[in-house]
């Protein structure tokens, strides 16, 4: 089984005149490589590119409780 592990960090940049203060980064603990994002869609797009064997792209669902990342339902 081939898998990847990432450490996920999520925070809001306070005090900025920014309409989107969300910041997200993932870090590969094995290599130390870190990539930053300003929205969930960019993160999911990046993860989809990192998993070329994934048959279906990951879905993102955001609501007042948070964010859920999942595989789309199979048809």
Region 31-46: what's the mean pLDDT? 89
Q: Is residue 35 part of a domain?
A: yes
Q: Residue 56 — very low, low, confident or very high, per pLDDT cuts 50/70/90?
A: low
Q: Is residue 22 part of a domain?
A: yes
The pLDDT of residue 26 is: 93
- How many Å apart are CA 25 and CA 7, to the nearest integer? 8
Q: Residue 21 — very low, low, confident or very high, per pLDDT cuts 50/70/90?
A: confident
Q: Is residue 1 part of a domain?
A: no
Residue 54, pLDDT > 70, answer no
Question: In degrees rounded to 5, what are phi and psi of residue 33?
Answer: -65, 135
Q: Is residue 75 part of a domain?
A: no
Give which of 48, 53, 47, 72 is closest to 61, Cα–Cα. 72
Give which of 38, 37, 67, 62 is closest to 50, Cα–Cα. 37
Q: Residue 27 — very low, low, confident or very high, per pLDDT cuts 50/70/90?
A: very high
Domain that holds residue 40: 7-70
- DSSP alpha helix (H) spans, the chain: 40-50
How many domains in the chain?
Answer: 1
């Amino acid at each position: 089984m081939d898998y990847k592990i990432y450490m996920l960090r999520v925070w809001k940049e306070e005090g900025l005149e920014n309409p989107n203060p969300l910041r997200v980064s993932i870090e590969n603990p094995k290599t130390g490589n870190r990539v930053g994002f300003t929205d969930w869609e960019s993160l999911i797009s990046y993860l989809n590119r990192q998993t070329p064997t994934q048959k279906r792209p990951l879905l993102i669902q955001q609501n007042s409780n948070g964010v859920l990342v999942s595989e789309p339902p199979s048809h």
